[in-house]
Amino acid sequence: MSRRKLAAGNWKMNGLAAQLAEIDALVNACPAPGCDVLICPPATLIAPMAQRAAGSVVAVGGQDCHARDSGAHTGDVSAAMLRDAGASYVILGHSERRADHGESDADVRAKTEAAWAAGLVAIVCVGETEAQRDAGEALSVVGAQLAGSLPDGATAANTVVAYEPVWAIGTGRTPSNDDIAEMHSHMRARLAERFGAEADGMRLLYGGSVKPGNAREIFGLADVDGGLVGGASLKAADFAGIVEAAG
């Protein structure tokens, strides 16, 4: 099964209107990439970024959504609102959301259902802490997160899974290639048990200190279908190198 790779940037809580110029630079640097390209800016920049990127190869996504469409949820944003602002993807269950906002697998599953209902592709994040890896629990922890966070209706078209070891995020550290390959193979097998042949088409991203200098090697590993990139997605020059590696 050939899966088109995805280079996804997560700007996290970074970016003011002035940074929208990075999108122009990215579009110029990557006029015809051989992979899908996505930037997930903070919610305040989704609409202007989507307008700026309209007609280009760069898709725009959210970093979270509420499980409900609308209502009395001060400060929250629904999947329908993201879609209305021009998003086509949403990151769900990022470890920073799980840690900062206490999001459970059940919460992530409900948000994923909401994302699909709004026509968004869900990028569902999983990953172990360093203590869990040291205890030999990485595979079982990620397997349980996958089982709990993905609803039954997951398909290759509506879902992307991102494996992000918590200890590799923003640290400059990455797992060994063998460890990444082992985890991605494990995830593919768990998905195949549950979703059958559909799992062959699901894209599995690696995230955690992906840089232009290591992206090609990581994206070349079996069952790695691109990356979810934090810090190195903020500057078009860096992210263009990662897009190039994925293409």
Ligand X SMILES: O=C[C@H](O)COP(=O)(O)O
Site for ligand X in 71-110 (CB under 6 A): 94
CA distance 50 to 87: 7
Q: Can 217 be counted among the known catalytic residues?
A: no
DSSP-assigned beta bridge partners for residue 58: 37
Site for ligand X in 141-180 (CB under 6 A): 164, 169-170
The footprint of ligand X on this chain (CB under 6 A) covers a number of residues equal to: 14
CA distance 34 to 101: 36
Instruction: Determine, following the binding rule CB under 6 A, whether residue 230 of this chain makes contact with ligand X.
Output: yes
As measured in angstroms, the least distance from the Cβ of 196 to ligand X is 29
DSSP-assigned beta bridge partners for residue 29: none
Catalytic pick among 22, 66, 94, 103:
94
Instruction: Determine, following the binding rule CB under 6 A, whether residue 228 of this chain makes contact with ligand X.
Output: yes
- Residue 37 sits at φ, ψ, to 5 deg, of -125, 130
Q: Toward ligand X, which CB reaches closer, 223 or 238?
A: 238
Question: Binding residue for ligand X (CB under 6 A) from 229, 242, 245, 246?
Answer: 229
> ∠ CA(65), CA(241), CA(35), 5° rounding?
60
The answer to the question of whether 230 is labelled as a binding residue is: yes
Residue number of the CB closest to ligand X reads 230
CA distance 187 to 161: 9
Q: Can 66 be counted among the known catalytic residues?
A: no
Q: Toward ligand X, which CB reaches closer, 78 or 233?
A: 233
CA distance 171 to 208: 8
Question: Binding residue for ligand X (CB under 6 A) from 78, 145, 159, 209?
Answer: 209
Instruction: Determine, following the binding rule CB under 6 A, whether residue 210 of this chain makes contact with ligand X.
Output: yes
The answer to the question of whether 11 is labelled as a binding residue is: yes
Question: Binding residue for ligand X (CB under 6 A) from 207, 224, 225, 242?
Answer: 207
Instruction: Determine, following the binding rule CB under 6 A, whether residue 204 of this chain makes contact with ligand X.
Output: no
Question: Binding residue for ligand X (CB under 6 A) from 33, 62, 165, 208?
Answer: 208
As measured in angstroms, the least distance from the Cβ of 166 to ligand X is 9
Helix ranges (H only) for the chain are 21-29, 43-53, 79-85, 95-100, 105-117, 130-134, 138-149, 177-195, 212-219, 236-246
From residue 112, alpha-carbon distances to 32, 80, 179, 196 in Å are 30, 12, 27, 20
Token readout for 77 is: 């944003």
List the helix and strand counts (H, then E) for the chain. Answer: 10, 8
The answer to the question of whether 10 is labelled as a binding residue is: yes
Total residues belonging to the chain: 247
As measured in angstroms, the least distance from the Cβ of 55 to ligand X is 26
Question: Of the listed pieces 129-137, 151-159, 175-183, 208-216, which binds ligand X according to CB under 6 A?
Answer: 208-216
Catalytic residues: 94, 164
Binding site for ligand X (CB under 6 A): 10, 94, 164, 169-170, 207-210, 228-232
